Amino acid sequence: MSTDRKVVITGIGVITPVGKDLVSFWDSLKNGRSGIDRISSFDPACFDCQIAGEVKDFNATPFFNNPKDVRRTDRFTQFGMAAAKMAMADSGVDLTKVDLTRFGTVIGSGIGGLNTLCDQHSVLMNKGPNRVSPFMIPMMISNMASGLVSMEFGLAGPNFSTVSACATACHAVGEAWRMVQHGEADIFLCGGAEATVVPIGIAGFAAMKALSTRNDAPQRASRPFDKDRDGFVMGEGAGVLVIEELEHAKRRGARIYCELSGYGLSSDAYHMTSPLPEGEGAARCMRMALEKSGINPNEVDYVNAHGTSTGLGDICETKAIKAVFGDHAKNGLLVSSTKSMTGHLLGAAGSVELAACVMAIRDGVIAPTINLDEPDPECDLDYVPKVAREHKVRVAVNNSFGFGGHNATLVAKAFEG
């Protein structure tokens, strides 16, 4: 099968700390509004890190055909279902008029049902094994968002979950892109979902000294590329997109946001949690994505950086961008990290940030990196500090890099035709 089939994005659904739909999400990003605050879902007083980007006042019930499924699903699956429902509605696809055996689902999660695991472990310890829920395993496992979404819509095409830490959602979208390109499916729901703002999640990342402890100023805590950054801020939510083969989209009269034109992936093969010091693995990943896209580095207008607000990560990504883009990195290329507002959504980050790239292409506006008061001397690119910038975006690059040395990059470009 030919691999020159073009792939386009036709639907977007997001659940995030800065907005529970695409309109509010994008409005918050454009206006530099942070969704980070003191944790409200449990008392964080005894934790070193007491802040996170939570999805507040979330009601999953409207997003499930069977209300019982809400009680039988972990929060990450609920987020994934909600984002998928919104993406489907946004795409306008009529399921009675498409081949459901060629409609796939790839929705990943970096950690899966952590809250369920903790709750049921407590039940086991306090009440005994006979009181553990029969739904514990399907609630906990990372593939369940993808599985239940496919069941909800009757999507009988390829269906699986990616699990690659913070690169999860980019890998999910990229593998769906690859399958459409190769003719193994015509249309996909793809992305990531995560819900790890729970006591053991915060405790575990804090024990690694990975999280910010700027508890007295939550909205200023996530500060990618700033010299005073002190770690990332946990976020939660989901991003799911509808991607499909171009002619398939045209036949049904779909509104096309943009083309999804390239995907790269690589491994650092270096360290469990630290990137290669010169960003070589990330650079290879970006080069592969641009090559697959047929895009010259000088044609890229915007990079939505992984930009987590960690000491090593921000410097290594800056070095990787310089290695790939050369002089263009400092002469025309704009870079920003929307994690400065959303926090780090881990396995959902890549698809949520791809949504930000798509909207930048649509509206000619690049969301800022807030809290960038004094850049780290080793982070010397144009990170669109503090306020959004109007700028025509024809090509956007989206980076996601995860613990375990996983690197993934997606390229989106303005649709012509």
CATH number, domain of 403, equals 3.40.47.10
299 and 327, same domain (yes or no): yes
344 catalytic residue (yes or no): yes
Q: Which of 229, 251, 273 is the last residue of a domain?
A: 251
CA distance 221 to 237: 19
What are the CA-CA distances from residue 72 to residues 61, 139, 144 (Å)?
12, 6, 11
pLDDT of residue 3: 65
Q: Which residues of the chain have pLDDT under 70?
A: 1-3
**Dihedral angle sign, alpha carbons of residues 58, 64, 68, 69:** negative
313 lies in some domain: yes
- The parent domain of residue 92 ranges over 8-251
257 lies in some domain: no
- Checking DSSP bridges between strand 187-194 and strand 103-108, what pairing results, if any? parallel
Residue with tokens 């010169």: 278
120 and 193, same domain (yes or no): yes
CA distance 302 to 334: 5
pLDDT of residue 1: 44
Hey, is 187 helix, strand or coil? Answer: strand
383 and 247, same domain (yes or no): no
Tell me the residue type at 353. Answer: E
pLDDT of residue 20: 98
pLDDT in tens, 148-169: 999 999 999 999 999 999 999 9
242 and 266, same domain (yes or no): no
Contact 224, 340 (CB under 8 A): yes
Please identify which of the residues 49, 190, 285, 344 carries the catalytic annotation. Answer: 344
Distance separating the N- and C-terminal Cα atoms of the chain: 24
**Dihedral angle sign, alpha carbons of residues 14, 32, 222, 282:** positive
Helix locations, 59-143, DSSP H: 68-71, 75-91, 114-127, 136-140
Contact 349, 400 (CB under 8 A): yes
Domain count, the chain: 2
180 and 290, same domain (yes or no): no
pLDDT of residue 371: 98
Q: Which of 228, 251, 274 is the last residue of a domain?
A: 251
Please identify which of the residues 171, 190, 258, 306 carries the catalytic annotation. Answer: 306
Residue with tokens 């055996």: 101
CA distance 374 to 15: 31
Q: Which of 201, 227, 251 is the last residue of a domain?
A: 251
99 lies in some domain: yes
Hey, is 184 helix, strand or coil? Answer: coil
Please identify which of the residues 49, 166, 190, 357 carries the catalytic annotation. Answer: 166
pLDDT of residue 199: 97
pLDDT of residue 417: 77
